[in-house]
Amino acid sequence: MIPPWFDMVLISLIGLAVGSFLNVCISRIPEEESVVKPRSRCPRCHNLIEWYDNIPVISYIILRARCRHCREKISVQYPLVEIGFVAMLLHLYHVFAQQGLSGHILFLAVGYYGILCACLLVATVIDLFHYIIPDEINIVGILIALAGAVAFPVLVGGSTIFDGFIHSAVGISAGFVLLRMVVWIGALIFRKDAMGLGDPKFLAMIGAFLGWKQVLLVIFLSSSLGALIGGLFVILFRKNKKDTVIPYGPFLALGAYISMLYGDDLIKWYFSLVQPNMQ
Ligand SMILES: [Zn+2]
């Protein structure tokens, strides 16, 4: 019998290693560089970063956030992304276990939706710094989501390969088309284009994992959170209201994260409010 803490330790170690790779993606994808080669170097002194200086979180602490050679400061983004990704995976594990998943299916679900978390995290950090969501993230996410839903339809609530494919394909279309329509209507009302194609493509990727019903929930959650947090941000740091650009991607990511974990409950709760007799 394997004790439960063993699962937690295993997930944390995998999460730290993957989190470290996500940092590479965050710094290299916007620069159009390969995420596989070459090995990482210090951006200032260009010394190769040895494996023992590249251990997630631990090296950051041992080196006290500075390059071993030139003492250049290492951004706190690195350990934050690694710890944040581990926290997301453990959270998934906890919620899915509570929802009744166990054994192989539990690990499969944490892996599958963990990949969505990785895409959400990378897109969020890149969007915050660069105001773009690179196509690479959306394309890789869509391909993995489709392949996973077809190979393991049980992950998306289906029972056949066809169920899995439809779930993903309809989710992709809904994500892209619906957000595109919102942008189009917004442009008609406010007479300015508030959003590029990046966000609809990002929601298409989210829809590939979560399906069309949750796409609706993600649009609702992200626009509510965006209005609330964005509004607060403008009030607190009001400088020039008109020029304040707040990227929408992080709100889509937050909405997707909430939907992924609690979407089914939220949708049931909503229908119990509008149609109490349906219970
Ligand atoms: Zn250096």
Tens of pLDDT, residues 23-42: 999 999 999 999 888 888 88
* Pair 124, 180 in one domain: yes
* Pair 198, 248 in one domain: yes
Distance (angstroms) between ligand 1 centre and the Cα of 64 equals 13
* Pair 70, 120 in one domain: no
* Pair 59, 140 in one domain: no
CA 10 – CA 6 distance, rounded (Å): 6
Report the pLDDT value the prediction gives residue 119, as an integer from 0 to 100: 98
Distance (angstroms) between ligand 1 centre and the Cα of 40 equals 11
Tell me whether residue 94 is in a domain. Answer: no
Distance (angstroms) between ligand 1 centre and the Cα of 66 equals 8
Residue 53's domain comprises: 1-87
Distance (angstroms) between ligand 1 centre and the Cα of 50 equals 12
CA 73 – CA 51 distance, rounded (Å): 18
CA angle 63, 68, 72 (to 5 degrees): 90
Tell me whether residue 92 is in a domain. Answer: no
Tell me whether residue 159 is in a domain. Answer: yes
CA 239 – CA 47 distance, rounded (Å): 41
Distance (angstroms) between ligand 1 centre and the Cα of 74 equals 9
53-57, 87-91, 146-150, range with the lowest pLDDT? 53-57
pLDDT tens track for 104-160 = 999 999 999 999 999 999 999 999 999 999 999 999 999 999 999 999 999 998 889
What is the reported pTM? 0.91
161: which residues sit within 8 A by CB, 6+ positions away?
Answer: 150, 153
Distance (angstroms) between ligand 1 centre and the Cα of 46 equals 6
Cα–Cα nearest to 133, from 180, 199, 178: 199
Cα–Cα nearest to 89, from 9, 144, 154, 150: 9
Sign of CA dihedral 106, 111, 115, 117: positive
Residues in a beta bridge with 73: 66
* Pair 265, 136 in one domain: yes
CA 45 – CA 196 distance, rounded (Å): 37
* Pair 116, 154 in one domain: yes
Distance (angstroms) between ligand 1 centre and the Cα of 59 equals 14
* Pair 160, 22 in one domain: no
Question: Which residue, 87, 108, 124, sits at the end of a domain?
Answer: 87
Distance (angstroms) between ligand 1 centre and the Cα of 75 equals 12
CA 276 – CA 259 distance, rounded (Å): 22
Distance (angstroms) between ligand 1 centre and the Cα of 61 equals 16
Distance (angstroms) between ligand 1 centre and the Cα of 41 equals 8
Count of domains forming the chain: 2
